[in-house]
């Protein structure tokens, strides 16, 4: 199965399971409608894809991996709902659709976010996710650490504070991104090792892969920002330069940034080399990260 097929199949499986896990005959139908609106049929499902692929390295059962990926995706979706709120980024549209607080109202969006966040832990702790309670407790603990004050929530707080001033350094930007997006991303790759109760050496290999391609992704973003038109990218370009934000292009130059991104991808690929053929999709995913056009 190629990388593209795996990504597509994961996205379909995530939607099918979410649809099943969020039935509308709930005590408070409106909040479930808003949770479904904000989680079903959204995005590339990259995080569940990485959970599935990291689980595949250790022959973890498909259902365990999928449910873990769906729990993680609930956290990602809740963070988008809350980030879009008027008091945060104040966005009316996400992927061409009205954001949750526009489609419903602000109170419902706050509660739908809270509901998705809580539901993530309900899924992870459920015996259906893994027969071994040590694995379930470990999934919850790692997911909570990645999502919480010392992870995603902390990164979002720093990002909001940084936006209130100009001239962010590259170190600040990297630190914020490693919390805001890197922590959940790291979980998506370590999940396979947690589900398999694998050795520390496996955890370390997957963390290395996650760190390398996380950074490569950011550099690729900076390259796209200067090389693309707003039409190609589907969003405003060169925003960073206007905000006085340092970019990897400032640091390395355009060619240097390209070289650096490719080096990081090869380091990521090397980190999962030990898994042989089972890591093919992860290798392709790493190369996709720097070669994408949007």
The footprint of a copy of itself (CB under 8 A) covers 26-28, 30-32, 35, 78, 82, 85, 87-88, 101, 105-108, 110-111, 113-115, 117-119, 121-122, 124-127, 133-134, 136-138, 140-141, 143-145, 147-150, 153-158, 160-161, 175, 179
> What is the smallest separation between the CB atom of 222 and a copy of itself, expressed in angstroms?
23
> What is the smallest separation between the CB atom of 118 and a copy of itself, expressed in angstroms?
4
Number of residues that this document lists for the chain: 294
Q: Report the distance separating Cα 123 and Cα 19, nearest Å.
A: 13
Q: Name which of 1 and 131 has its Cβ closer to a copy of itself.
A: 131
> What is the smallest separation between the CB atom of 138 and a copy of itself, expressed in angstroms?
8
Q: Report the distance separating Cα 272 and Cα 278, nearest Å.
A: 9
> What is the smallest separation between the CB atom of 158 and a copy of itself, expressed in angstroms?
5
Helix, strand, coil tally for the chain in percent (to 5): 75, 0, 25
> What is the smallest separation between the CB atom of 92 and a copy of itself, expressed in angstroms?
15
Nearest Cα to Cα of residue 294 among 234, 241, 247, 236: 234
Name the DSSP letter for residue 94. Answer: E
Cβ neighbors of 221 (< 8 A, separation 6 or more) are none
Nearest Cα to Cα of residue 139 among 85, 74, 77, 93: 74
| Residue written as token pair 């992704």 | 217
Are 184 and 50 contacting, i.e. CB atoms less than 8 angstroms apart?
no
Q: Name which of 1 and 107 has its Cβ closer to a copy of itself.
A: 107
Name the DSSP letter for residue 27. Answer: S
Q: Name which of 114 and 267 has its Cβ closer to a copy of itself.
A: 114
Q: Name which of 137 and 251 has its Cβ closer to a copy of itself.
A: 137
> What is the smallest separation between the CB atom of 163 and a copy of itself, expressed in angstroms?
10
> What is the smallest separation between the CB atom of 106 and a copy of itself, expressed in angstroms?
3
What's CA 112's distance to the chain center, in Å?
Answer: 19
> What is the smallest separation between the CB atom of 18 and a copy of itself, expressed in angstroms?
13
Name the DSSP letter for residue 211. Answer: H
Nearest Cα to Cα of residue 122 among 47, 21, 54, 48: 21
Greatest distance between any 2 Cα atoms in the chain = 57
Q: Name which of 116 and 205 has its Cβ closer to a copy of itself.
A: 116
Q: What three-state secondary structure class fits 98? A: strand
Are 189 and 50 contacting, i.e. CB atoms less than 8 angstroms apart?
yes
Q: Name which of 215 and 285 has its Cβ closer to a copy of itself.
A: 215
Q: Name which of 140 and 220 has its Cβ closer to a copy of itself.
A: 140
Q: Name which of 82 and 260 has its Cβ closer to a copy of itself.
A: 82
């Amino acid at each position: 199965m190629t990388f593209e097929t795996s990504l597509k199949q994961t996205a379909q499986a995530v939607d099918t399971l979410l649809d099943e896990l969020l039935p509308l005959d709930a005590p408070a139908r409106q909040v479930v409608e808003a949770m479904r609106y904000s989680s079903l049929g959204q995005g590339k499902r990259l995080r569940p894809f990485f959970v599935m692929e990291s689980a595949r390295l250790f022959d973890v059962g498909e259902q365990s991996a999928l449910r873990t990926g769906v729990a993680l995706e609930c956290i990602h979706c809740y963070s988008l709902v809350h980030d879009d709120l008027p008091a945060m980024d104040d966005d009316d549209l996400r992927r061409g659709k009205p954001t949750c607080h526009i489609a419903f109202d602000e109170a419902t969006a706050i509660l739908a976010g809270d509901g998705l966040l809580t539901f993530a832990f309900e899924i992870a702790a459920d015996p259906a996710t893994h027969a071994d309670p040590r694995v379930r407790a470990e999934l919850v603990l790692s997911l909570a650490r990645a999502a919480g004050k010392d992870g995603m929530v902390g990164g979002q707080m720093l990002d909001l504070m940084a936006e209130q001033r100009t001239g962010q350094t590259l170190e600040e930007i990297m630190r914020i991104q490693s919390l805001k997006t890197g922590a959940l991303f790291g979980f998506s790759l370590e999940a396979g090792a947690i589900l398999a109760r694998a050795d520390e050496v496996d955890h370390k290999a997957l963390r290395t892969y996650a760190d390398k391609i996380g950074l490569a992704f950011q550099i690729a973003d900076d390259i796209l920002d200067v090389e693309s038109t707003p039409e190609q990218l589907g969003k405003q370009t060169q925003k960073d330069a206007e905000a006085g934000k340092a970019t990897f292009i400032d640091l390395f130059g355009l060619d240097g940034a390209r070289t650096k991104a490719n080096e990081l991808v090869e380091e990521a690929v090397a980190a999962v080399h030990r898994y042989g053929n089972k890591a093919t999709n992860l290798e392709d995913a790493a190369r996709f990260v720097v070669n994408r056009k949007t």
